[in-house]
Structure 1
Amino acid sequence: MAGKPKLYYFDGRGKMESVRWLLAAAGAEVCFSVFNFKLHIGKLFEEEFLETREQYEKLLQGGSLLFQQVPMVEIDGMKMVQTRAILSYIAAKYNLYGKDLKERALIDMYVGGTDDLMGFILMFPFLSAEDKEKQRAVIVQKATSRYFPAYEKVLKDHGQDFLVGNSFSWADVHLLEAILMVEEKKSDALSGFPQLQAFKARISSIPTIKKFLEPGSQRKPVPDDKYVETVRRVLRMYYDVKAN
């Protein structure tokens, strides 16, 4: 597996899931390893799942985690941290970052908006049962009153299939990921957004995305209690997260 990207994170979504989405969109396939067990189901990148505090401390002691945080991705001879930097590099590497500076600026703007929406969702698994119900309402309200109307307008105004330059880009991948995350909280969240409904269908039918959405792919499921417990144990995150 020498020379192939390697992802270091938990066996769950979190901040690494957008990296998986983007690599999948670019046509990358996954090989993952837990401890010494390896299951080869692809060719282009692998994953090492953090399951113990000792694994995490080994990365810290080895100097791999520049800011003492994961995700980390080994790619092209670099050990990259900071999710946005990782995603920007992958998008540029696989020609998913626009054809010029203006398109790149638009992609950054749209991805930034989607990141804001995802921020309300990423904390959800770590909330108490009571706070989860409050946060579910916040997620749906923010999505349907702020973020989805913005993207609906972008698609309607320019009348093209994609968000930027009428070409498939990182912005499209990121938005589809966010849409599906919101629909997990409210299945009819797109009911008032015909442009986004059509967008979802188009992007989901792109071969690399379609494959990633199929059962058995490396797309991670909705985070469960086991994932939450593992993250808390490895990071020694003993405090309670509060809803927005």
Structure 2
Amino acid sequence: MPPYTIVYFPSRGRCEVIRMLLADQGQSWKEEVVTLDAWGQDTLKASCLFGQLPKFQDGDLTLYQSNAILRHLGRSFGLYGKDQREAALVDMVNDGLEDLIRHRGQLFLRNYEEAKAQCLKELPGHLKPFETVLAQNKGGQSFIVGDQISFADYRLLDFLLNHELLFPGYLNDYPLLSAYVERLRARPKLKAFLDSPEHVNRPISSRLKI
């Protein structure tokens, strides 16, 4: 039996980055899919520590909160920078993405088309900090921090790929980020996951149907 179990909705949401990381690290995991109807019955919600999913099992360790899960896996697989300086930068990138993801979530709870238009308008300003950090590391020709992949790379890749679904071709305007995405996508195990039907057919959000 795989040592890891992901309990989540039938969507990418907060868990696709975790799946990317595990796949790229050659790990297997079990999925327990929770439908919105089942979640609405409140029994499972009441059993979750913060009343939220994802829930993540690593052997006898149960974790909630997606960022805590990412940091745990980052430490487990050496994906947290090579020293304290790099770890701080990894945290900075991840926290910056967290702010954007929360902002996007609030937007899309309103009118979908209006939210999409605003998202596109804001995109250059929102991507600029990540372009800056990337450019500062070997001229943008490596990972977001240091010379080895970190959990922040998976988080940024997930963010950029989700926007490719919303705005096909938008990365053409961001050559540094576009090349970065292609480098990560070329990693064999990650490529196999990203090309899999499980990933391709999984919506970004089960609630918003995108």
Task: Report what 2:38 is aligned to.
Answer: 53
The correspondence for 1:111, drawn from 94, 99, 109, is 94
Sort the Cα spacing of 1:135 and 1:10 in 2 relative to 1 into closer, same or farther, 3 A.
Answer: same
Structure 1: distance between partners of 2:208 and 2:130:
35
- The residue correspondences of 1:5-154 to structure 2 (distance < 5 A) are 5-28=4-27, 44-51=28-35, 52-53=37-38, 57-60=42-45, 63=47, 65-122=48-105, 126-127=109-110, 131-146=111-126, 148-154=127-133
Structure 2: distance between partners of 1:19 and 1:11:
14
- Where is the helix percentage greater, Structure 1 or Structure 2? 2
- Calculate the TM-score normalised by the size of structure 1: 0.74
8 Å CA contact 2:8–2:55 kept in 1: the answer is: yes
- 1:101-153 CA distances to partner (integer Å, 9 max, x unpaired)? 111110011111122222344456654xxx1111112222232222x222222
**1:17 positional shift:** 2.3
8 Å CA contact 1:66–1:81 kept in 2: the answer is: yes
8 Å CA contact 2:10–2:202 kept in 1: the answer is: no
**1:56 positional shift:** 6.3
Task: Report what 2:152 is aligned to.
Answer: 171
Unaligned runs of 5+ in 2: none
Sort the Cα spacing of 1:106 and 1:54 in 2 relative to 1 into closer, same or farther, 3 A.
Answer: closer
Letter in 1 for 2:118: V
**1:223 positional shift:** 4.4
Task: Report what 2:3 is aligned to.
Answer: 4
Moved more, 99-108 or 149-158: 149-158
Structure 1: distance between partners of 2:187 and 2:135:
21
Sort the Cα spacing of 1:123 and 1:208 in 2 relative to 1 into closer, same or farther, 3 A.
Answer: farther
Number of aligned pairs? 206
Unaligned runs of 5+ in 1: 29-43, 231-244
DSSP 3-state at the match of 1:47: strand
Structure 2: distance between partners of 1:161 and 1:172:
10
